[in-house]
Every structure is written in C-alpha cells, then in structure tokens.
Structure 1
Amino acid sequence: MQSPPLARLLDDHRPQGPVETADHARALPLVGAPDAWDRATPLHFTASALIVHPPTRRVLLRWHVRQQAWLQVGGHGDPGESLPLEIALREGREETHLTDLRPWPGDELVHVVVVPVPANAVEPAHEHADLRFLLATDTPDEARPENPDAPLEWLTLEEARERTTEENLRETLDRAARLLA
C-alpha cells in the first residue's frame, strides 16, 4: 500500500462543521511549505491515530504528560518524513509496540484539528495542525507503553469519551464510533 501524499489527503478530506472547516483552512497553506513539519515553526503538521480493535469496539488511549491528558498516539515527523499516514503508523508502533497496525477502514484522514501546545523548558507555546487517522490492531493484548510515564489503556468508546478532557478527541471518537457501528 502506498501512503497518500499530504496534498491529496487534505484535498480529499471534507471537513465536518465550522471548527474543522476553520482548522482545515489554516492547515492548507502549510502544504508545500518547506517547514510544514518543522517543530520550530508556530504552526506545523503532526500526524496521529486513534488505535481501534474493531471486534470489541475498543480504542487505545495514551497518557500525554505535556498535555496532561489522555489522547490518541502520534507526533512529529522525523527529518525527511512528509507522508502523514506513515508518520502516524511509525508513532503508533513506537508508542504502543503494536507491530500489526494498519489503516482502518481505509487510508483517508478522519479528522483535521489545530491543537494548542503549551510551552515547556525547550519549546515556546505553538500549534499542531494534527492530521488524524484510524489504525486497527488484531493483537490488543500486546500493547505496551514506550515508557512508564506514558501508560496505555484500552477503553470502550464511552469510557474514552469520559476519560479525555479534549473536546476535539471526543469528536474523533464520535467519528470512530460511526465507523465501528
């Protein structure tokens, strides 16, 4: 399977509602910019995924220390990376040790969200234009956190909605729920 390029993913994606429409519009000018994935810019792309286990309709959430929230897996592209789905797959494997992750139900974007990120000791506050996918696994019991500060939890969709404090993730969960139905 060839991972779709960034421009095609965003062109093919149809935002749902005014918030995602505005976020999608903010992300579009980054396409083709040489620093679109550069974490030193105030707004840059990241790629993430909600990992699902379709037979049980469960989702995997990860504790993010910097955000102080239960979120999906994902992150920044490494130098030279520019294919969002490949970045989401790599990040998913690194953060969960699941080796069988695959796009589900297809390789399209599920959600585009501009997320504020607070400053820390090494980076100023900035924003991520987060490109979200769904990834599935057949081996949920093999999930292992990448470190002790980033625990993982398999949850029902309802439990995940209650656990997260992020409204944008609740929207991603709602979209996953419709696909898992």
Structure 2
Amino acid sequence: MTELYDDAVRVVSGWRTGESRARSLALLDAGPVALTRGYDPGHVTASALVVSADLSRVLLCLHGKFHRWVQLGGHVEADDPSIAAAALREATEESGIAGLRLHPEPIDLDIHPVRCAGRDSYHHDVRYAVLAPPDARERVSAESDALGWFRPDELPTPLASATEHLIAPALAAFR
C-alpha cells in the first residue's frame, strides 16, 4: 500500500492548483489510511472515461447504486501499483473490454459526497481517459445496471453532474 500511497501523493501534488488539490492533499496527510474505504473523512478513488477508438463516443454505465449514468471507476485496492493502474483495472472490470489504453495523466480531480459502507463520506476521485480498441465489446458487470456508448451531443439521462465535463478533456487526451 506504500507504493500506491506514494503514487497518490505524487499524482495529487502534480494536479493543477485549486480546492480539490488542497483538500485531497489534506486528506492524504493522514497516510495510507486515506486510500481505504473505511476512512470516514473520505478516501481516494480512481475512475476513467472510456472513449471509442474513433473518438466519436464515450462509454457510460448506469450505476447500480445511485442510478445515474457515470464514467467507470471505484475504490483503489491495496495491490494496485498506482492510481492510474486502479483506474484502468476498474474500467476493464466494469466494461468487460480487454485492451483498453489509459492516458497516463489525469483529466480531472473531483471530490463528491457519497454514502459508503453505510456511512457518509467523500470520494476524492482521480479521473483518467481510456481509449477502447476498435473491436471493443462491452459487458455489463455486477456494479452496473447497463452500459452504453453515447455521442457527446446525445448523452443519457439521468447523468451524474460531473460526468459531462470529462468528455472534452478525455477526447483531447487522445487527439
């Protein structure tokens, strides 16, 4: 967990200045416990917006717990070597798509309230862009009610409030 923690500090420290960076660094001052879902003040998570190979669509999931369309992602695991690796693992698990390619730099750092493990908490979500291979075939996981490919100008509803603003930076990452 030390390697993952060190990477989280490096990634968040490298994020542009702002409230999300400052709050996430303050959370990480607690040490590796800030990566665990049992830490009540919040914890670092990793997510990814999957973009089609031709950059015309994004893959979203209808989240099984809060019933909104969102990017793929979730909790980091102790054996994840980095936050980026956690985002790629989550995207692969939740999409069922093999051969995803992660852009190495985050596209967003978002802090949002959640109900986690029966308690109110915050996710400090490091968000990445992921490119799907041309032959991508998605498969719904146990964490989603549905998966769907959407054009940026035809997004589904209900859409999580912070999801739409990920599209432009995700597409730009692969142009």
The aligned counterpart of 1:31 is: 28
Q: Which runs of 4+ in 1 moved over 4 A?
A: 177-181
Aligned residue pairs: how many?
169
- The normalised TM-score by structure 2 is 0.84
The answer to whether residue 125 in structure 2 is matched with residue 130 in structure 1 is: yes
CA distance in 2, matches of 1:82, 1:180: 24
Alignment gaps of 5+ in structure 1: 16-20
Secondary structure (helix, strand or coil) at the match of 2:163 reads helix
Identity of aligned residues (%): 27
Alpha-carbon distance between aligned partners in 2 of 1:118 and 1:53, rounded to the nearest angstrom: 31
1:172 corresponds to = 166
Deviation per CA, 1:23-81, whole angstroms, max 9, x where unpaired? 22110123361202110112100000000014142100001122221000001012343
Tell me, what secondary structure is at the counterpart of 2:54? Answer: coil
Cα 1:148/1:87, change in 2 over 3 Å: closer
Q: Take 1:177 and 1:135, find their aligned partners in 2: how far apart are those partners?
A: 9
What pairs up with 1:42-61 in 2 under 5 angstroms?
A: 42=40, 43-61=42-60
Of the three residues 150, 156, 159, the one matched with 2:151 is 156
User: How is 1:54-73 mapped onto 2 (pairs within 5 angstroms)?
Assistant: 54-73=53-72
**Which residue, out of 19, 23, 31, partners 1:22?**
19
**How far, CA to CA, are the matches of 1:57 and 1:137 in structure 2?**
11
- The one-letter amino acid paired with 2:54 is P
SS of 1:29's equivalent in the other structure is helix
Counterpart amino acid of residue 133 in structure 1: Y
Secondary structure at the residue paired with 2:162? helix
User: Contact 2:55–2:171 (CA<8 Å) still a contact in 1?
Assistant: no
Amino acid of the structure 1 residue aligned with 2:56: R
2:11 is matched with which residue? 9
Deviates more, 1:164-173 or 1:59-68: 164-173
Distance 1:180 1:163 in 2: 26
